[in-house]
Amino acid sequence: MGNVIKTNKMTAIILAGGKSSRMGRDKSLVEFDGEPLLARAVRVLGELFDEVVVVTNQDIPIELNGAGVVHDDVPYQGPLGGISAGLKASSHENNFVIAVDMPFISADVVEYLAGFAGETDVVVPRTPNGLEPLFAFYNKRSLPAIEKALAQGERKIISMFPQANVRTVEHAEMVGLKGADTTFLNVNTERDLKDAQVQVRGMSVEKDNSPKVVDLDDDDERIPVERPVTIYVNSEELVTVQASLEHLDELACGFLFAEGVLQERGELLDIRINEERGEVRVRTKKSTTNASKSMGKRFVTSGCGKGFSFVSLGDALNIAKNKSRFTVPAKDIPELMKQFLRSSRRAGMHSSGLIKDGEIAFIRQDIGRHNTVDMIVGRLWLDGVDDRDVLLFTTGRISYEMVVKAAKARIPVLVTRTAATDMAADLAKRLGIEVVGYVRGANMKVYTDGARIVGSRE
């Protein structure tokens, strides 16, 4: 059994650069019990450790009370890449690594786990839900195993465990510690956040159907953010869009990929985001000098916030036809739409969601419907995902440029609860994409051939 020791000669590393896929916005800045989750983690861990390091892939617009900030060595290598960057920046051999979305940090559990640090490369607790590698201690001796896993293209933390000396601390060993029942809880979704807020306030949720004045501090009812965001490529100003300041890295990459500025994932060097100035600066390996001129004429689209596209309908007809054999049962689409809409309740915001293997993989929300599609396309591009047997659900009207984005991303099925335009339907037929609209109750309208929608013609 480990000795309970002080952690003042160790470093706390907070991973704050995750995708926030299911939350739909940057979790590090989400307000919890009166402060952003990141500020809360820095405050609590600052009382336990003499050094706190935050690993992120974007600028942080809040005060961090002396915590150091480092960026991932190579962007978008997942939490394993974040641990690598944090360990390299740390001043100590033993380091506590935690995800930013875990608000109930128990000092007793942290110090108990710290008692095993130094004896081994990794100290990881196991709960009834499995291993907790994002609430664990990592000695700098684990760096070679981490670097080897990253070099092999691995992104999961546990992929490096076979190459390291790992001490697993079982749940039964921690069950008597104060806070052990809540310290491993995290907030992945808006529902998780509400549950955690209720728990911290010691309140119970009671159903109340009586009329009430809407609280604009409620996450489902808050006023949408709208700001101009300018995208730069290799210092060249390319375009300015109206956006909600969420997932700007995905928004920029999705837009640039759909417009043909970005192609292969290896072209990307880094992305720098400045929310206060409304800037996304993308740096690439190959020269894109005068990109805006070479891309030709801008087309004002039907999107919210005066969307732009450089792809004309004539250009779109040259996109390769989608020859995927992916199909989906027509009977599954209404239930998937219900799940999608239940997860998309933010006032004044459009939503798009990626459906994979019959489940919602992630959702993106913004004031502009085109932006939400760009975010999804950008996420797929950043992750280098090749498997595109997916559906893209959206709350907004499907127009031709949304079909173009789906075609560029090789997404075979588009679904909306509203309508599709005639240009969108015609282009989708030519490009091998199914478009389904007016999904309400058990009903839907298939605008295209319907070959991928099994049972739609019965």
Select which of 124, 304, 311, 411 is catalytic: 304
Burial class for 314, CB neighbours closer than 10 Å (0-12, 13-18, 19+): exposed
Which residue's entry shows tokens 């076979």? 162
What is the spatial distance between Cα 242 and Cα 309, in angstroms, rounded to a whole number?
A: 14
Segment (H or E) for 108: helix 107-114
Reduce the secondary structure of 414-450 to three states and give it as a string.
Answer: EEECCCECHHHHHHHHHHCCEEEEEEECCEEEECCCC
Q: Is 304 a catalytic residue?
A: yes
Contacts 24+ apart (CB under 8 A), 176-180: 177/106, 177/108, 177/109, 177/112, 178/106, 178/108, 179/104, 179/105, 179/106, 179/107, 179/108, 179/109, 180/106, 180/108, 180/109
What is the CB neighbour count within 10 angstroms for residue 234? Answer: 17
Residue 325: strand, helix, or coil: coil
User: 312 with 400: CB under 8 angstroms?
Assistant: no
What is the CB neighbour count within 10 angstroms for residue 210? Answer: 4
Catalytic residues: 304
